[in-house]
Amino acid sequence: MKSLSVHLTDTCNNSCIFCVVGSHTGTPEKVNKKMVYEFLAANKDKGYEAVNIHGGEPTIVPEFLDILAMIKENGYKAISVQTNGRTLRDIEFAKKAVENGASLFVVSLHGNTPELHDYFTSVPNSFEEAVEGIKNAVKLGIKVRTNTCVCQQNLEQLVDIVNYSMDLGVSHVNISNLHTAGNCLKNFGLVVPRIQDAIPYVEKAVEACVRRNVKVTLEGYTSCVLGDKSRYMIDWEENKFKLLYKSFIMNDYSEFMSTQTRTKSSSCKTCKEFEMCSGVYNEYAAAYGFEEFKEIV
């Protein structure tokens, strides 16, 4: 599916210690909303079926509902919103978002308890508010996908987190390797696990979703460490994004990520997945090298 992706804001009402864009409440806003409107209007008849809105936290933007309405009016078939879910605790706000075209909420859920989730967000009560937001979205009949970032502090709880997500009624669980930029780079030693240490927990979390017949996807990992679980990796060839990030337009987001934010070793060239693999995040490779990544022959 050809889709547009819009970075709607730099600000956020959370301050996650691994946030790739380093967003928090005090982040100066550098997003030009006029460019957002122009980008959406300019691409409406070019075969793009869906629009993904993200930030920062897009739902706190004053123009959020108007932008949803504009996307709907321009004929895009689907609108996904990446959110921490906190504003959705107000069911009237959630209803307005749905009425204006939101068809999927991708909600960040990094713990199954307030202590764990709020540790990552640095905001008390953010867990309860996110959970209430998920419940409201499910109640309204809108699809919800949770996104859980795999960190040193939640490895052992990963199965509990995905089970908790499914108990809330979500239709899709996404498990993400950390993108080592922004706050994640600042806190690298604190939050980033060795991938070889994380994989056993990731595998068990995938199996928990499969047992309950809930869709599960993996993001940011490589086939060589996932083994047979690599079939659950997001297929970026099937999910092409044209991205507006502030004043920059990236015509192929996955290509940008592969060529600018990730790297491969010389030994990767003999791997049968070399052409399809996006590689390892640059900062992770710089810290740990490639010893744990073995070519598939």
Q: What is the pLDDT of residues 98-120, one digit of tens each?
A: 999 999 999 999 999 999 999 99
What is the percent of the chain where pLDDT is above 90? Answer: 88
Interval 170-187 mean pLDDT: 97
The tally of domains found in the chain comes to 1
pLDDT for 245-295, tens place per residue?
988 999 998 888 989 999 999 999 999 999 889 899 999 999 999 999 999
CB 51 within 8 A of CB 71: yes
Cβ-based neighbour number of residue 93 at 10 Å: 16
Region 65-82: mean pLDDT is 96
Q: Kindly state whether residue 291 falls inside one of the protein's structural domains.
A: no
The token pair that represents 13 in the structure block: 């009402």
- What is the distance between the alpha carbons of residues 96 and 118, in angstroms, rounded to a whole number? 27
Region 231-258: mean pLDDT is: 88
pLDDT-derived band at 181 (thresholds 50, 70, 90) equals very high
CB atoms within 10 A of CB 13: 18
Query: Could you tell me if residue 66 is inside a domain?
Result: yes
Chain centroid to CA 64: 19
In order of 207, 221, 251, the CA distances from 278 in angstroms are 24, 9, 17
pTM of the model: 0.95
pLDDT of 254? 86
Lowest average pLDDT, out of 13-17, 88-92, 129-133, 257-261, goes to 257-261
For residue 95, is it within any domain?
yes
Separation of alpha carbons 160 and 112, rounded Å: 7
Query: Residue 126 and residue 114: Cα distance in Å, rounded?
Result: 8
Quote the tokens at residue 45: 């008849």
CATH of the domain at 159: 3.20.20.70
pLDDT digits (tens, 9 = 90+) for 77-101: 999 999 999 999 999 999 999 999 9
pLDDT at residue 161 greater than cutoff 90: yes
pLDDT band at 236 (very low <50, low <70, confident <90, very high): confident
- The pLDDT of residue 156: 98
19 CB-near residues (< 8 Å, 6+ apart): 12, 182, 183, 184
Asked whether residue 7 is assigned to any structural domain, the reply reads yes
CA 5/CA 68 separation, integer angstroms = 13
Q: Is residue 268 part of a domain?
A: no
| Residue range(s) defining the domain that contains residue 42 | 2-260
Please report the pLDDT score of residue 246 as a whole number.
87
Task: Classify residue 249: in a domain, yes or no.
Answer: yes
**Tokens of residue 66, six digits:** 């108007």
Residue 215 has pLDDT above 80, yes or no: yes
